[in-house]
Chains A and B, each alone.
Chain A
Amino acid sequence: MVPTAYYLVLAAVLFSIGIAAFLIKRNVITIFISIELMLNAVNLTFVAFAHMWHQVAGQIFVFFVMVVAAAEAAVGLAIIISIFRTRQTLNVDEIDLMKS
């Protein structure tokens, strides 16, 4: 049986990769994927703890996260497409309409 700590370390590694990509990458789609990576790292910890405590609550949470992530992906991709249509770029450094 694999110890719980292994799962947690793997999740931490995945989460850190997600954050690093989120901060470094300039392409919106890559940033989007890194967000998904972070979400799934969290999902992994949920499942790990659910397994450790023999409770289903953690797994139920994971389902919720997946549903929300799916909805987010649909909306997010739609936004990305419309950004690309109007500005002909996906570089986040050039998308700074919110500048004060």
Chain B
Amino acid sequence: MSPMPATYLWLIPLLPFAGFLVNGTLGRRLPRTLVSAVALLCTAIPAALVAWLWITMRAAGAPDSIALDSGPWIAISGFHVDFAGAVDHLTLIMLGVVTGVGFLIHLYSVGYMAHEEGYWRFFAYLNLFMFFMSVLVLAANFLLLFVGWEGVGLASYLLIGFYFQKTSAANAGRKAFVVNRIGDFGFLLAMFLLIAHFGSLDFNQIFSTIGQHPEWLGARFLTAIALFLVLGAAGKSAQIPLYVWLPDAMEGPTPVSALIHAATMVTAGIYMVARCHALFDRAPVALAVVACIGAATAIFAASIGMVQHDIKRVLAYSTISQLGYMFLACGVGAYAAGIFHLLTHAFFKALLFLAAGSVIHALSGEQDMRNMGGLRKRIPITFYTMSAGVFAIAGMPPFAGFFSKDEILYQTFISRGPLGKLLWVVGLITAGMTSFYMFRLWFKTFFGEPRFEDHVSSGEHDTHPIHESLWIMLFPLVVLAILSVIGGWIGIPTALGGHNEIAHFLDPVFASGAGIETTTTGHALELFLTLVSVLVAALGFCFAYILYYKKPSTAALLADRFRPTYNVLVNKYWVDEIYASFLITPLLMFTRGFLQLIFERGVVNGSGRAAAMATRGVAWLTHSQISGNIRSYAGWLAAGAAVVVAAMIFGRSLWVHL
């Protein structure tokens, strides 16, 4: 196959944008088949282009990176930013996830959204998201990345609030937007600092400058930049303390949760940290912060996920927890492991969300797991595909999640630094929790007695009996299930007889930094750690099996026994309430008390009123002179002229004397 010309690369972002324009402007008048055809075509062609690109770049002797330039964007004396993209192996993996999983989810949406209002609007937004996400991963400088970063935030906001007539959905969209603003603030500050210290926002230029200055290890300004970037990443990737928006984002349609809030957008933070690895390698403090945030978020979200009843919320907290794993991987310098987990997570979490959507669809909009059960026989294809996802995320060999999660835990264990072992323990406990809550979901949904009525009616969907979804929804499920099984095989570690291909594939990207070298240990340790994590995952399975299948009553008993702990978990550690009372209420009091009452009413409105009153006063003083009498006007005119003449003759000398 001939190598791909770089000009075609621009089609990857531009085609979805064209789809957005067509569906966004004309979609209301187009028939549904045409709307979905446009949307599918505009995502299928980029996916095919990425596949072509993949083959090109895998070929022997292919360059490690393809640059695409399309001229300057901002050029001010000495500082310039271009519309420039670059494709290296990291971008290639991201592009593959975005376009591949994106296309599958578009396909699924055609079936899932078939009965919804605003069909055209949904696909227009979805294509808009694809456009911005491609821009984000293709960008070769921070500013263009930021454009994509903000754009996916916009698309996320629009899609969370897709059912905007529902107050909770509208509020959730707003919450996501506002919380992300805090992160973006950090990103902006990081960019300002980069401009101040490097005079550029270009990735290559900045990272090569950093590479030339080994003495900058731990330099204060690099740490500051890295920490601000971490703040941005924590907002986008839903990490402590900015994770609160992601569970609420489940108000959006399920394909949106799968695409944006599980597979692609929320991984942008991890992508960004991995992209800036050269910078982070020189800022060990920031890396330690990343690792700690990741581990803390992983265990924190997993513990909440263990007691949720809403099927989508369990998956949401699971997503936060898995993103925490990826952060942890980046934090210990194992960027390739983080990206590997990002890839497998995109497969199995998209699968889990889509399968959950299929369950919800079958039950006419029911999301509460307490009203499910026994669905195994009723919707068998959904059951089998979802099982693949559950086994994958729980870390059961040889499913995809096993290899990626194990790689992260192993890299954490061998990382040099005082925290390595502690973080490993946290990660291991989280793995057990993950296995527990996923099998809990699995048992509660598909096993046991049915706890629903066959003709449940709910607002969102039409009422109909339990049924398996259409083929157009099942096909993506099957593809993703296969990927969830075999997706991890590209990263089988040498200890298990593999080649860890993904690490070698990413070597050209991450080797250049190489600030943190990992200590090589024998395969025995790696095998032992693998065994431990498999045992922990099996333990989670056993707990779930006993509590939710064998003796379903024990779960309630346990909850009663540990009522305080259970309450803390069910109420999600009251984080939302704490934020509300300690941050939002004071802020609202400040805006309402000071800004609205004093500033808005006093200064803004007051100055307007004062101007009006001054005008009226002057008018009142002068209006008696407006007599209509021409001779009096003429007199004033003459007097004025006389004053001007007098000022011209005598004024100058007077001025000089003063």
Contact surface of A with B, Cβ cutoff 8 Å:
19, 22-23, 26, 31, 92-93, 95-100
On whether the beta carbons of A19 and B628 are closer than 8 Å, the reply is no
Query: Which size class do B's interface residues fall under?
Result: 10 to 19
Partner of B626, one of A22, A31, A95, A98: A98
Contacts of B638 in A (CB 8 A): 19, 22-23
Closest-by-CB residue of B relative to A97 is B628
On whether the beta carbons of B628 and A98 are closer than 8 Å, the reply is yes
Contact surface of B with A, Cβ cutoff 8 Å:
623, 626-631, 634-635, 638
Q: Can you spell out 20 A-B residue pairs with CB atoms less than 8 angstroms apart?
A: A19-B638, A22-B634, A23-B631, A23-B634, A23-B635, A26-B631, A31-B630, A92-B629, A92-B630, A93-B629, A93-B631, A95-B630, A96-B629, A98-B626, A98-B628, A99-B626, A99-B627, A100-B623, A100-B626, A100-B628
Shortest CB distance B217–A (Å) = 78
Measured in the bound complex, the distance between the Cα atoms of B629 and A98 in whole Å is 8
Contacts of A22 in B (CB 8 A): 634, 638
Measured in the bound complex, the distance between the Cα atoms of B635 and A95 in whole Å is 16
On whether the beta carbons of A92 and B626 are closer than 8 Å, the reply is no
Closest-by-CB residue of A relative to B627 is A99
Measured in the bound complex, the distance between the Cα atoms of B627 and A98 in whole Å is 7
Contacts of A19 in B (CB 8 A): 638
Measured in the bound complex, the distance between the Cα atoms of B633 and A22 in whole Å is 11
Measured in the bound complex, the distance between the Cα atoms of B626 and A31 in whole Å is 20
On whether the beta carbons of B631 and A92 are closer than 8 Å, the reply is yes
Shortest CB distance A90–B (Å) = 12
Contacts of A98 in B (CB 8 A): 626, 628
Contacts of A23 in B (CB 8 A): 631, 634-635, 638
Contacts of B631 in A (CB 8 A): 23, 26, 92-93
Shortest CB distance A83–B (Å) = 11
Contacts of B623 in A (CB 8 A): 100
The 4 closest A-B pairs by CB, nearest first: A99-B628, A96-B628, A100-B626, A98-B628
Shortest CB distance A14–B (Å) = 15
Contacts of B634 in A (CB 8 A): 22-23, 31
Contacts of A96 in B (CB 8 A): 627-630
Closest-by-CB residue of A relative to B630 is A92
Contacts of B627 in A (CB 8 A): 96, 99
Contacts of B635 in A (CB 8 A): 23
Contacts of A99 in B (CB 8 A): 626-629
Measured in the bound complex, the distance between the Cα atoms of B637 and A31 in whole Å is 14
Closest-by-CB residue of B relative to A100 is B626
Shortest CB distance A13–B (Å) = 16
Measured in the bound complex, the distance between the Cα atoms of B623 and A50 in whole Å is 44
Measured in the bound complex, the distance between the Cα atoms of B438 and A54 in whole Å is 105
Contacts of B626 in A (CB 8 A): 98-100
16 other contacts beyond A23-B635, A96-B629, with CB at 8 A cut-off?
Answer: A19-B638, A23-B631, A23-B638, A26-B631, A92-B629, A92-B630, A93-B629, A96-B627, A96-B628, A96-B630, A97-B628, A98-B628, A99-B627, A99-B628, A100-B623, A100-B628
Shortest CB distance A60–B (Å) = 24
Closest-by-CB residue of B relative to A19 is B638
Shortest CB distance A24–B (Å) = 8
Measured in the bound complex, the distance between the Cα atoms of B640 and A19 in whole Å is 13
Measured in the bound complex, the distance between the Cα atoms of B627 and A6 in whole Å is 40
Contacts of B630 in A (CB 8 A): 31, 92, 95-96
Measured in the bound complex, the distance between the Cα atoms of B167 and A40 in whole Å is 80
Shortest CB distance B128–A (Å) = 59
Shortest CB distance A28–B (Å) = 8
Shortest CB distance B617–A (Å) = 16
Measured in the bound complex, the distance between the Cα atoms of B638 and A93 in whole Å is 18
Measured in the bound complex, the distance between the Cα atoms of B632 and A100 in whole Å is 14
Shortest CB distance A2–B (Å) = 25
Closest-by-CB residue of A relative to B635 is A23
Measured in the bound complex, the distance between the Cα atoms of B623 and A97 in whole Å is 15
Shortest CB distance A16–B (Å) = 10
Shortest CB distance A18–B (Å) = 10
Closest-by-CB residue of B relative to A22 is B634
Contacts of A97 in B (CB 8 A): 628
Contacts of A26 in B (CB 8 A): 631
Measured in the bound complex, the distance between the Cα atoms of B626 and A26 in whole Å is 18
- Give the most central of B623, B627, B634: most A CB within 10 Å: B634
Shortest CB distance A75–B (Å) = 16
- Give the most central of A26, A31, A95, A100: most B CB within 10 Å: A100
Measured in the bound complex, the distance between the Cα atoms of B633 and A97 in whole Å is 13
Contacts of A100 in B (CB 8 A): 623, 626, 628
